[in-house]
A and B are shown apart, each in its own frame.
Chain A
Amino acid sequence: MSVVSAGVVGELRQILVQATGREELLDTSDQTPLFGAGVGLDSLSGVMLLREVHRRFGVDVAAEDLNLDALATLATLAAFIEERAG
């Protein structure tokens, strides 16, 4: 796995707050699971997050990742983006 820059994770954290409308998620660690308890990413917040990622980084995660494994944590999502955005 490539080394992920803190910049991308930080930007993703901002997008996550925007997608969920929950300011407290600014404290989300890059290892916290996005699905399930805690962040609790669901269909609506998930779609908002994926669209904003597509818009800012040009990476269409839903088209390239059938199981959406990239959405496991902010770290996996950042790695997925960096691998493709080059």
Chain B
Amino acid sequence: MMVKCVIWDLDNTLLSGVYLETAARPPAPDPAMLAVLRQLSARGIIHAIATRNPPEAARYAAAVTGLDFAAAESGWGRKSDAVRRIITDLGLGPDAVAFVDDDLYERAEVSLAVPEALVLSPEDMAEAVGWPEFSPATVTAEGARRGELYAQRRRRQEEARAFAGSRDEFLRYCGTRVAIGPAADADAPRLHELSVRTHQFNTTGEAMAEAELRALIASPAHQVATVRLSDRFGDDGLVGGCVSHRGPGPGWTVTLLMMSCRALGRGVIEALLAWLARSAARDGAQELVVPCLVTPRNVPLRLALAASGFRAPEDTGTAERPRVARFARTLSGPPPPLPGWVTAPGEP
């Protein structure tokens, strides 16, 4: 089904920041999303806004992008209700709209309430311009492949909803394969891309340049690992990575940890944290340290750290501004188990 209208979230999606936090000098449009917006407009696809902001935020977005939005829903209700109102106002079918939001909760909420809609993260949206749903005339092989990935994800989600059992049972049922391995020079572009696009699972919140990644991959003092994910529904390729090194003292430090949100709920981040703890312990380390920027956006990462036994001292800064907390996990005692579907260096 062709998408006729894209419904955009504003904060940290179409705008490169939060409108109300900086209302005196509102954030500029996100350059990647602005490019997508213009490309899709040129193909005749219309746009709408669904935002938890006062109406002036939508007017600001229209002015700053130079685009007419066909509809704008502003307010603090459920995003799915805003999406439904836009669908009704514009006289569209629910399967003719896409919804883009950086927040995984909002995406999950809209997916459940309007299952026919195409629900995308900004990371997905940057690629989706090449999908058949957005570009009947100009589909490339790569675009078609990535569109297929999304279809696979939807089939997996549908089965997950119908599946009775724990998450691990579902992952086994799917034939999940998580492959952790040493990064090669050729992985640098994708790792750079992940450092730019991941927010909910990213410990630093900063892009890492390809050149820096190449240097770290070549450095004998650092370990750069990649994570690849596949199951019987499809192959997601390289979905995550991390950079770590020995020290300080008898510990190991992970200076960057990141994962695509398309791997969410599939045991990937947990597998990576468990493998890091196991390899550091094998190396004789007594502690695994993961310094992590604390922001409202990477709460999913903090949940994964908490679930994997990491703790940070509470006295680091204030709740108002982002700060780096030193999450650490002791390596005394038995190492965390690694599920059977994970293959990794040093593991049988």
Contacts and interface: CB of A to CB of B under 8 A. Distances in A.
Interface of A: 21-22, 24, 35-36, 40-48, 50-51, 62-64, 66-69, 71
B319 A41 contact: no
Given A42-B307, A44-B104, A46-B303, A66 B270 contact: no
A62 B269 CA distance: 19
Contacts of A64: 319
Contacts of B325: 66
Contact of A47 (B267, B300, B307): B300
B167 interface: yes
Given A64-B319, A66-B294, A66-B314, A42 B302 contact: no
Contacts of A44: 104, 108, 264-265, 300
Contacts of B168: 40
B199 to A, nearest CB: 13
Which 6 residue pairs spanning A and B have beta carbons closest together? A46-B303, A43-B300, A35-B307, A68-B306, A44-B265, A62-B299
A26 to B, nearest CB: 14
Interface in B299-313: 299-304, 306-307, 311-312
Interface of B: 104-105, 108, 160-161, 164, 166-168, 200-201, 264-265, 267, 269-270, 294, 296, 299-304, 306-307, 311-312, 314, 316, 319, 325
Contacts of B302: 62, 66, 68
A50 B299 contact: yes
Contacts of A41: 303, 307
Given A51-B105, A64-B319, A66-B314, A36 B307 contact: yes
Nearest to A62: B299
Contacts, number: 69
A68 B314 contact: no
B178 to A, nearest CB: 14
A69 B166 CA distance: 23
Contacts of A47: 104-105, 299-300, 303
9 contacts: A40-B167, A43-B303, A44-B104, A47-B299, A48-B105, A62-B302, A66-B314, A67-B314, A71-B306
Given A24-B164, A67-B306, 5 more contacts: A42-B270, A43-B303, A44-B264, A67-B311, A68-B303
B312 A46 contact: no
Given A48-B105, A62-B296, A35 B306 contact: yes
Contacts of B269: 43
Nearest to B323: A66
A42 B161 CA distance: 16
B80 to A, nearest CB: 13
B306 A42 contact: no
A61 to B, nearest CB: 9
A40 B299 CA distance: 17
A6 B301 CA distance: 31
